Homo-oligomer: A and B are copies of this chain.
Amino acid sequence: MRFSYLGPRGTFTHMALMQISSDEGGHIPAIDVPAALRMVRNEETDFAVVPIENSVEGGVNATIDSLSNGSGLRIVAEMLVPITFVLASRGPMDLSEVKRISTHPHAWAQCQNWIASNLDDAIHVPGTSTAGSAKAMADGAMNFDAVLCNPLSAEQYGLTVIAEGVADNPDAVTRFICAGREGTALPERTGSDKTTLQVQLPSDEAGALLAMLEQFATRGVNLSRIESRPVGDSLGRYQFSIDCEGHVEDERVQAVLIGLHRTSPHVKFLGSYPSAKQVPVKLRPGTADQDFVAARDWVSNLLGK
């Protein structure tokens, strides 16, 4: 099994990939999200692991658009990774000795309050990625004392962790997906699943978004994420990237898909997969599989079938 992922080695994306595959031999870093997905489409890898959503930054447009616009991919898993950093150096040292820190500017920004409280006269030495800073330190770079990186790259590059849980927002989390080709078998339903869709609205209809959301509501299917993305041909024309609760093998999700297919110019099914949190879905009355089956049987009976 080969996995392309948003590299380099040791990124948060790599941490997500390690949750589902510990065999590093099959891990192939890609330069960006479209490249990671392209490797799956081109059959260079079997799956790609890329970020889709961050609790602070929001949706990852590169992922959403690459999934939607190219040929068929299918999401088969999601993974959550807490976005906290470690401060690491070549060997044990005291916090008070840390004067110069290398890391990616985003990481530096996300830890500013922590640094101000704990290391208030430390200086930032910009790196191209947190994993890149870790590698540079391991390779012997001398112009900084420590790096802010994630726990995985500290470990991979043999660094010593001198502070853990470094983050201004300790609950920050990024959600990653693992996508295979369209033909990949659907993961089994677990009772706590998500389905990802791309839905375009009929153009120039007041209330089109409301009508689209009603397709979910009348079947008791909750949304867990909705992002508007431009269709691309003019301002004001949107498609929506949506995660909803449930699996395409759930009758209620099938009913939503049928309703969307009828009323939207384009709907794309991007996969059903177990929810990372595995909290069982609370079904509203009348939305269990047996409710749909019983209702269909009743109608068949009316029709004398």
Contacts and interface: CB of A to CB of B under 8 A. Distances in A.
Contact of A218 (B209, B218, B229): B218
A217 interface: yes
Contacts of A286: 262-263
B213 A213 contact: yes
B257 A298 contact: yes
A218 B228 contact: no
Contacts of A224: 236
Nearest to A235: B55
B261 A229 contact: no
A287 B262 contact: yes
A234 B222 CA distance: 17
B58 A230 contact: yes
A209 B209 CA distance: 10
Interface in A227-252: 227-230, 232-236, 238, 248-249
A294 interface: yes
A292 B262 CA distance: 7
A163 interface: no
Contacts of A232: 55-56, 169
Nearest to A291: B262
A190 interface: no
How many monomers of this protein are in the complex? 4
Contacts of A230: 53-58
A299 to B, nearest CB: 5
Chain A binding surface, main DSSP class: mixed
A258 B299 contact: yes
Contacts of A126: none
A173 interface: yes
A34 B259 CA distance: 41
A1 interface: no
A209 B202 CA distance: 19
B258 A295 contact: yes
Contact of A258 (B171, B261, B296): B296
23 contacts: A53-B235, A55-B235, A56-B232, A57-B230, A58-B229, A80-B235, A175-B235, A185-B304, A186-B303, A186-B304, A206-B222, A210-B217, A214-B218, A218-B259, A225-B228, A227-B228, A248-B302, A255-B258, A257-B298, A258-B292, A258-B296, A261-B294, A262-B291
Interface of A: 53-59, 61, 80, 169, 171, 173, 175, 185-186, 202, 206-207, 209-211, 213-215, 217-219, 222-230, 232-236, 238, 248-249, 254-255, 257-259, 261-263, 269, 284-287, 291-292, 294-296, 298-299, 302-304
